[in-house]
Amino acid sequence: MTSLIGMEPNTVEKPSVTMLGLGAMGTALARAWLAAGYPLTVWNRTPARAAALAPEGARVADSAAQAVAASTLVVICLLDDTSVDEVLAGVDVVGRDLVNLTTSTPAQARARAAGARRRGARYLDGGIMAVPPMIGAKEAGGYVFYSGSRELFDRHQETLGVPAGTTYVGEDAGFAALHDVALLSAMYGMFAGTAHAFALIRREDIDPAALAPLLADWLVAMIPAVHQTADQLRSGDYTTGVVSPLAMQVAGTPTFLRTAEQQGVSPELLGPYFDLMRRRLAEGGGEEDLTGVIDLLLR
Ligand code: FVH
């Protein structure tokens, strides 16, 4: 029997990664892999950004083609879909595992997956739910939606999980982008509401810093409503568990609009939502939650 005494500890070599695009996000991703000891090859259109990572251990490629040739796993984080087209044009991607974290529409992601397949590459799309300071800081809670080949995701999950958490949302390559845009759209709705709230108090002797915690606590208290909305959408019954029926809420809308007018605040953020609530009420949804508004949005 062979003795194990004196053998080297079993060190597992980390897979090499290529990173195309070193803007704020690409650089944060690259630094996370470097800090974790992954062999990393980088390329960026403006070479100085790539050169800046050399002292941290990155291998700097002279071209995108050279960078792609360096690793099987190629992570792309560029400004937009057009820049991805430009960077990958003419580059040999045969046998590469392309992971595109550039913000795209679902249609762009699906087209890119099909294009990658035609060119002999495998493809995974990603939607980043984090800002650069959250990358490499797991406790910050940032994560990336992934969709496309499950097999590819499983193969690279450990590596992809280094900069941020990973959430796989399906074989359809467009689903990561769709989840990304859905969450960010909800965020903009929230920002729109808070903008209106701050505008209401703007000309009064009320400290915005005093309103802020009240606003934040109220929004948090309202968050469970998303689960009830989901349950109602699944069941198709929008009246289950209703505590504030649409008819009552619509009756209150003139108060909101008059208050805005009295405070000299434009109703242009709230107005369109109230219009939809009134339309649903007119269709007979008075006993429902606000869930029926979703159906009115579907064209
Ligand atoms: N930063 C953020 O907060 C958000 C968080 C959520 C996800 N987004 C998306 O991530 C993609 C990259 O964002 P970024 O913050 O890194 O963006 P920039 O700092 O502006 O860097 C852009 C990089 O793209 C390169 N680039 C632009 N156009 C081209 C092109 N035609 N050909 C080649 N490269 C191009 C640019 O290169 P350079 O200007 O340094 O030469 C940067 O590397 C993005 O999809 C966000 O939506 C970030």
Provide mean pLDDT across the span 148-169. Answer: 98
Which of 18, 79, 131 has most ligand 1 atoms within 8 Å of CB, for mutation?
79
| pTM reported for the whole predicted model | 0.92
**Edge-first strand listing for the sheet containing 40-43:** 59-60, 40-43, 17-20, 73-76, 97-100, 122-129, 143-148, 165-168
- Cα 30 to ligand 1 centre (Å): 13
Q: For residue 11, name the pLDDT band (cuts at 50, 70, 90).
A: low
For residue range 278-289, what is the model confidence (pLDDT) as tens digits? 999 999 999 999
Which residue, judged by its Cα, is nearest atom 10 of ligand 1? 102
User: How far lies 141's CA from each of 133, 134, 166, in Å?
Assistant: 11, 7, 11
Cβ(166)–Cβ(192) below 8 Å = no
pLDDT reading at 8 higher than 70: no
3-state secondary structure of 60: strand
pLDDT reading at 16 higher than 60: yes
Residue 163 Cβ contacting ligand 1 at under 6 Å = no
- Cα 78 to ligand 1 centre (Å): 4
* Predicted local distance difference test score (pLDDT) of residue 1: 32
Strand partners, 41: 18, 59
Work out the percent of the chain whose per-residue pLDDT is above 70.
96
pLDDT reading at 2 higher than 70: no
* Predicted local distance difference test score (pLDDT) of residue 12: 76
Residue 23 Cβ contacting ligand 1 at under 6 Å = yes
- Cα 258 to ligand 1 centre (Å): 44
Residue 83 Cβ contacting ligand 1 at under 6 Å = yes
- Cα 196 to ligand 1 centre (Å): 31
Residue 50 Cβ contacting ligand 1 at under 6 Å = no
Pull the structure tokens for residue 99: 């992971």
CA–CA distance, 175 with 110 (Å, rounded to integer): 9
Cβ(137)–Cβ(160) below 8 Å = no
Pull the structure tokens for residue 157: 């999950």
Q: Which residues of 74-102 are buried (b: 16+ CB within 10 A; e: fewer)?
A: bbbbbeebebbeebbeebebeebbbbbbb
Among the atoms of ligand 1, which is closest to the Cα of residue 22?
43
Residue 88 Cβ contacting ligand 1 at under 6 Å = no
Which residue, judged by its Cα, is nearest atom 37 of ligand 1? 45
* Predicted local distance difference test score (pLDDT) of residue 4: 36
pLDDT reading at 238 higher than 70: yes
Residue 22 Cβ contacting ligand 1 at under 6 Å = yes
For 71, residues 6+ apart whose C-beta sits below 8 A from its C-beta are 15, 16, 17, 18, 39, 41
pLDDT reading at 252 higher than 90: yes
3-state secondary structure 236-277: CCCCCCCCCCHHHHHHHHHHHHHHHHHCCCCCCCCHHHHHHH
Which residue, judged by its Cα, is nearest atom 19 of ligand 1? 23
CA-nearest of 283, 276, 292, 298 to 242 is 292
Pull the structure tokens for residue 75: 């992570």
How many other β-carbons are positioned within 10 Å of the β-carbon of residue 58? 23
- Cα 128 to ligand 1 centre (Å): 12
- Lowest mean pLDDT of 2-6, 26-30, 78-82, 121-125, name the range: 2-6
Pull the structure tokens for residue 68: 């792609």
Among the atoms of ligand 1, which is closest to the Cα of residue 102?
45
* Predicted local distance difference test score (pLDDT) of residue 242: 96
Residue 51 Cβ contacting ligand 1 at under 6 Å = no
Residue 15 Cβ contacting ligand 1 at under 6 Å = no
For residue range 216-227, what is the model confidence (pLDDT) as tens digits? 999 999 999 999
pLDDT reading at 205 higher than 90: yes
For residue range 59-70, what is the model confidence (pLDDT) as tens digits? 999 999 999 999
